[in-house]
Structure 1
Amino acid sequence: MPPVENDTGKSELKSRIQKLIDSNQVIVFSKSYCPYCLKVKDLFKELKVECNVVELDLIEDGTNFQEMLLEMTGQKTVPNVFINKTHVGGCDKTLQAHKDGSLQQLLSGDGEAYDYDLIVIGGGSGGLACSKEAASLGKKVMVLDYVVPTPKGTTWGLGGTCVNVGCIPKKLMHQTALLGTAMQDARKFGWEFEETVKHNWDTMKTAVNNYIGSLNWGYRVALRDKNVTYVNAYAEFLDQHKIKATNKRGKETFYTAAKFVLATGERPRYLGVPGDKEYCITSDDLFSLPYCPGKTLVIGASYVALECGGFLAGLGLDVTVMVRSILLRGFDQDMANRAGEHMEEHGVKFLRKYVPVKVEELEAGTPGRLKVTAKSTETDEVIEGEYNTVLIAVGRDACTDKIGLDKAGVKVNPKNGKIPVNDEEQTSVPHIYAIGDILEGKWELTPVAIQAGRLLARRLYAGSSVKCDYINVPTTVFTPLEYGSCGLSEEKATELYGNDNVEVFHSLFWPLEFTVPGRDNNRCYAKLICNKLDNDRVIGFHYLGPNAGEVTQGFGAAMKCGVTKEQLDGTIGIHPTCAEVFTTLDVTKSSGGDITQAGCCG
């Protein structure tokens, strides 16, 4: 056992060192001849930061100092740097901290040594893009992702809504329905096959989910390859720099970060009526539903409602859509109504101006039987109907209410849970950012979240100044007859510029592919909205017809370049295609001229 006086001496020495650390903004324990110490001292000179230097080789008890520093910090080598009472480390760590910005943070008194440079909360498309980009720029990054099971118990893997229960399975099931239509057309083109053609739900569901599983795995591999730490746990802020992560077994772990990105996305909204969570499903359940849904009631008029109702009808199911008011709120209403009319003409029933008040189970099963009671929004009329499946698609809610944003001081719109941000995606707390569907007043689209996440990481860590452009974002609704749009709706254009300053060019058309089967003659529709005050610049593009996404993408690029009606008129169309109609539009809506087409070369 060492002598008591040695313990006392050690205690006094530790107190002396701690006092030096506590009373100086920057203190460097150094040796006068050490080239690494010289590098660090020169760095602080360049930064014009005053630092207190203790040259251990020039003081009497320098060796004892070094031994005590080893005990206190685990580091025996010099330089040994402390900033605002925080141990930074040696030469390499100090230079790295200068390079990544954390040294400046410590000098400003804002920071401490954090576990991560960046923690991204949410493993969807936006969160993954942001985290991978930040990691590729040399940052220490963590992604937390946790899927709260639906009331039916459905859950899924890494990748967020789009990959698991959104765009990807939706488009694949839409394609399944299109193939059914193509088979009907095929006979008119000379293909002969047996009449007993039927669809197998389980085969489709398994194929779609196998593909999604491969994507989930691919995302995990990509994060590992980029050295991003992935944690499958639910994140909740405890303060502005600290979160608690709870895994599915309830184990809690705590992490800190210099910066955060919120990318938690949205989940389907329920009705708030008896039986909705007990007996109904949402799009979160539909794409991996283990049985064919049978006779289905879709409640809602959102794009999710019309897309899901459309492909279910395309599989041959009995589908009814219950609509409270208008179709596709926020989209051009002329286009929305045309898309809905096409669905009605092809067997989808619409119950307009009704809202459900109760859902009851008549018989359990896969599927079972449900009774839905609904009331009119205009009269006292009450109706009842029986269905095998009830799909709720009345909108989505931002996943922001249970992640401790109040403890972090992040302002949230209390009405919808959305987060207001500036044009840098910065929330009310400067080091906390938000991207994707949870943003107030921005597009709820996967490619927008990806672009915003990637550009945000570059601004934070690569000196970029490029911001996400939320104007003229092209998109497509995958209804049975697809609807592509970019820019303003006719209603919005008129509101912004006035009826006299807007010119609308439009045409019906009949795709060549539809002529031999003899279907949907002059049901497809093209519309350009132009600003007469600005050289007839195109401010709204709208297309209802096949392959709408492929058609709209190129016109989206043209609008980003500021395309005018004259430039489109001067563009030679590709014949015979649907897209060429936009190079030959010559009838204005205001003229009331005939817009039907008689043949492919009109």
Structure 2
Amino acid sequence: MNVIGSSTRTSAACLFSKILTSPRARIKISWDIVCSKHSGLGSRQYEYDLVVIGGGSGGLACAKESALLGAKVAVLDFVTPTPLGTYWGIGGTCVNVGCIPKKLMHQASLLGEAVREARSFGWQIPDKVWCDWSRLREAVQDHVKSVNWVTRVQLKEKKVTYINARGYFKEPHVIGCVSKDGKEKTITAEKVLIAVGGRPNYPQIPGAVDLGITSDDIFSLKYPPEKTLVVGGGYVGLECAGFLSGLGFDVTVMLRSIALRGFDQQMATLIREDMERRGIKFIDECIPTNMQKVGKGKLEVSFKSVKEKQEVSKAVFKTVLFAIGRKPATEQLQLQNAGVDYNPETGKISVTDEATNSNGVYAVGDVLEGKPELTPVAIQAGKLLARRLFSGSNKRMDYSNVATTVFTPIEYGCVGLSEEVAKKEFSDNLEVYHAFYKPTEFTVPQKDTSSCYLKVLCLMKEPRTIVGMHFIGPQAGEVIQGFAAAMKAGITMEQLQDTIGIHPTTAEEFTRIFITKRSGLDPSVQSCCS
């Protein structure tokens, strides 16, 4: 019997009276006290056991898991439209303007490449093949809206209250809710989870906000982007540049410094080289200084060198997409009212096991200081937090060895440390195995395999534990996922080399790797059956 769940809230007094008259009163009262302490559902001075501010992946995961464990939960979600006017439904960045639409457009790009290559396999394909942007956009948005709908249904089925309003702190346990029409109400919660994610940055230059777009706009853009400048060389910028180029558009990437900062730089160089071979242009060590309209549907961008500081040049584009980083959407939360400490420069929140310094206030996802900004990370952290809060679990989130993939035209998957970080951490105790390879699917037609490369970082001392795995090639995300599980289990180099590969696959190249950088031997493509 659970007398502390939300379903018995209204009859608590009556039930308590009956327990007192029971011959087992002491046992039952003691058991209820234990359950209350164990589940975190003991207090009834608040309207909700948990209020989640933010309807993205991490917040929703925590909300649904908490509701399943008997908590009374509300989710606040409100999307401020972009300067272009783009807005979306519940589900957060990943579902609406991130991972999901990105992967679909990446797939559309790969399909175009596959159609053209099909001629080499005997398929009779018309000479001119092109992608209809409006049909692609419609297909992508139809899927996104279906996920929005399913999310709403799931919340309703799990009895999670959905409130379409912007939430902010009035006090640590008191949340203000401002609706689209400006009306406000107040709700209270014993526990509050901050899961508001982040939004893209704009440069502080004339015309950027009025004339530019970000990844929040590209997936629902009403017109074909045509000649596009992508400002920024992180994974978002390169992924957008990659699928736009694959869809047939003229694309230029402007880099302030290096591509894929934070990733292994040898792999980043190979990715860039592959993109250049595909016709994507790069402008190095420059930043935009001004944007203005010049004629119908054209934007003139002025830019300068970050080193020499003088004006370098001007160029005209149809679309300018800014991918210069993201900032957490914590500005409007009024965190000071809840006593939550945060970094005033970044807007990010420091946590210990997702708990902030303010009692009863938690945070997950992209708002966290120093944690991976990845959807699966937020989901896992949200679920584990819910179980600790409402079922007595002690399991903590492990942020180490989280795999990820950059969905550039040729994909890059990795897990563990980059070579740069591993060298700093392990110095002379590091061994690097590496190899170039030729995917079977790249042989008909004969495709460039210059960037098909992988490497494994392991310790030299026994048991030679693997600390990093990097792979560039087709289906990199699918390849690296299984090896991520192996790394979680502490796989060693001997165990990897003892693993029998599946032939012919690209993933088997990890099991065939034997040349070290230290040996100086040529890591060029080996025979497929050697």
- Provide the C-alpha distance between the structure 1 equivalents of 2:439 and 2:211, rounded to a whole number of angstroms: 42
**Which residue number corresponds to residue 374 of structure 2?**
445
Question: Does the 8 Å contact 1:570/1:583 carry over to 2?
Answer: yes
1:223 — aligned with what? Answer: 155
Aligned pairs for 1:69-468 (under 5 A) are 101=40, 103=42, 113-364=45-296, 368-379=297-308, 380-422=310-352, 424-468=353-397
- Alpha-carbon distance in structure 2 between the residues aligned to 1:131 and 1:411: 23
Q: Tell whether the 8 Å contact from 2:19 to 2:29 is kept in structure 1 after alignment.
A: no
- Tell me, yes or no, if the aligned pair for 1:299 and 1:322 is still in contact at 8 Å: yes
Q: Report how far residue 520 of structure 1 moved.
A: 1.2
Cα contact 2:372–2:399 (8 A) shared by 1: yes
> Residues 170 and 429 (structure 1 numbering): CA distance in 2 closer, same or farther, change over 3 Å?
same
In the alignment, is the contact (CA less than 8 A) between 2:39 and 2:392 conserved in 1? no
Whether contact under 8 Å (1:40, 1:95) holds in the other structure is: no
Question: What CA distance in whole angstroms lies between the structure 2 residues aligned with 1:118 and 1:29?
Answer: 22
Of 437, 441, 448, the match for 1:509: 437
**CA distance, structure 2, for counterparts of residue 501 and residue 206 of structure 1:** 53
Matching residue's letter, 2:457 = I
Does structure 1 retain, via aligned residues, the 8 Å contact 2:251–2:280? yes
After superposition, residues 546-565 of structure 1 pair within 5 angstroms as: 546-565=474-493
AA paired with 2:161? Answer: T
The Cα offsets for residues 410-459 of structure 1, whole Å up to 9 and x where unpaired, read as 0001111110001x210011210100111110010000000000010001
Contact kept? 2:46, 2:189, Cα under 8 Å: yes
Structure 1 runs of 4+ aligned residues shifted over 3 Å read 34-48, 94-103
Distance in 2 between residues matched to 1:439 and 1:282, nearest whole Å = 22
User: What letter is aligned with 1:529?
Assistant: L
Higher mean C-alpha displacement, 307-316 vs 532-541: 532-541
Q: What letter is aligned with 1:167?
A: C
Q: Is the 8 A contact 1:522 1:596 kept in 2?
A: no
* C-alpha distance in 2 between matches for 1:583 and 1:538: 13
SS for the counterpart of 2:424 is helix
How many aligned residue pairs are there? 516
For residues 459 and 376 of structure 2, the distance between their equivalents in structure 1, rounded to whole angstroms, comes to: 27
Return the alpha-carbon distance in structure 1 between the equivalents of residues 28 and 101 of structure 2.
58
Structure 1 residues 157 and 45, CA gap change in structure 2 (3 angstroms): closer
Query: Is the deviation greater in 193-202 or in 504-513?
Result: 193-202
1:98 CA drift (Å) = 7.2
Alpha-carbon deviation of 1:185? 1.2
Taking the aligned partners of 2:348 and 2:430, their CA distance within structure 1 comes to: 33
Matched, 1:485 2:423: no
Return the offset for 1:599. Answer: 3.8
CA-to-partner distance for each residue in 1:155-184, whole Å, 9 max, x for gaps?
000100000000000000000010111112
SS of 1:533's partner is coil
Q: What is the CA–CA distance in structure 1 between the aligned matches of 2:371 and 2:175, rounded to whole Å?
A: 26
2:471 alignment counterpart: 543
Report the Cα distance in structure 1 between the residues aligned to 2:207 and 2:73, rounded to whole angstroms: 42
**Residues 263 and 435, structure 1, Cα contact 8 Å, conserved in 2:** yes
What does the per-residue CA deviation read over 1:3-58, in whole Å, with 9 as the maximum and x for residues that have no partner? xxxxxxxxxxxxxxxxxxxxxxxxx999xxx744435994599669xxxxxxxxxx
Kept in 1: contact 2:226–2:318 (CA 8 A): yes
Measured on the aligned residues, the alpha-carbon RMSD in Å equals 2.1
Asked if the contact 2:271/2:451 (under 8 Å) is kept, the reply is: no
Render the CA deviation track for 1:288-323: whole Å, top value 9, x for unaligned: 001110100000011000000000000111000000
Q: Normalising by structure 1, report the TM-score.
A: 0.83
Give the Cα separation in 1 of the matches to 2:197 and 2:230. Answer: 23
Amino acid at match of 2:347: G
CA distance, structure 1, for counterparts of residue 51 and residue 481 of structure 2: 33
Greater Cα radius of gyration, structure 1 or 2: 1
CA distance in 2 between counterparts of 1:531 and 1:122 reads 42
SS in 2 for 1:363: coil
Q: Which residue of 1 aligns with 2:5?
A: none
Q: Please, what TM-score do these two structures have when normalized by structure 2?
A: 0.94
Measure, in 1, the Cα distance between the counterparts of 2:254 and 2:164: 37
Does the Cα contact within 8 Å between 2:289 and 2:304 map onto a contact in 1? yes
Q: Secondary structure at the match of 2:162?
A: strand
The alignment status of 1:475 with 2:404, answered yes or no, reads yes
Note the alpha carbon deviations across 1:75-114, whole angstroms, 9 max, x for none: xxxxxxxxxxxxxxxxx9x9996785454x5xxxxxx610
- 2 CA distance for matches of 1:238 and 1:297? 42
Aligned-partner Cα distance in 1 for 2:94–2:183: 28
Identity %: 52
Q: 1:317-362: per-residue Cα shift (whole Å, max 9, x none)?
A: 1000000001111110111111111000110000001001111111
- Cα distance in 2 for partners of 1:428, 1:457 equals 18
Instruction: Say whether the 8 Å CA contact 1:116–1:258 is kept in structure 2.
Output: yes
Q: Deviations over 1:131-177 (max 9, x none)?
A: 00000011100000000110111000010000000000000000001
SS at match of 1:391: strand
Structure 2 portions without partners, runs of 5+: 1-11
Q: Which amino acid aligns with 1:277?
A: V
Instruction: State the secondary structure of the residue aligned to 1:378.
Output: coil
Cα deviation, residue 516, structure 1: 1.4
The counterpart of 1:576, out of the listed 494, 504, 522, is 504
> Residues 447 and 102 (structure 1 numbering): CA distance in 2 closer, same or farther, change over 3 Å?
closer
**In the alignment, is the contact (CA less than 8 A) between 1:142 and 1:230 conserved in 2?**
yes
Structure 1 residues 131, 29: closer, same or farther in 2, change over 3 A?
A: closer
Decide whether aligned partners of structure 1 residues 189 and 98 sit closer, same or farther in structure 2, where only a CA change above 3 A counts.
closer
Asked if the contact 1:526–1:542 (Cα under 8 Å) also holds between the matched residues in 2, the reply is yes
- Note the C-alpha offset of 1:584: 1.1
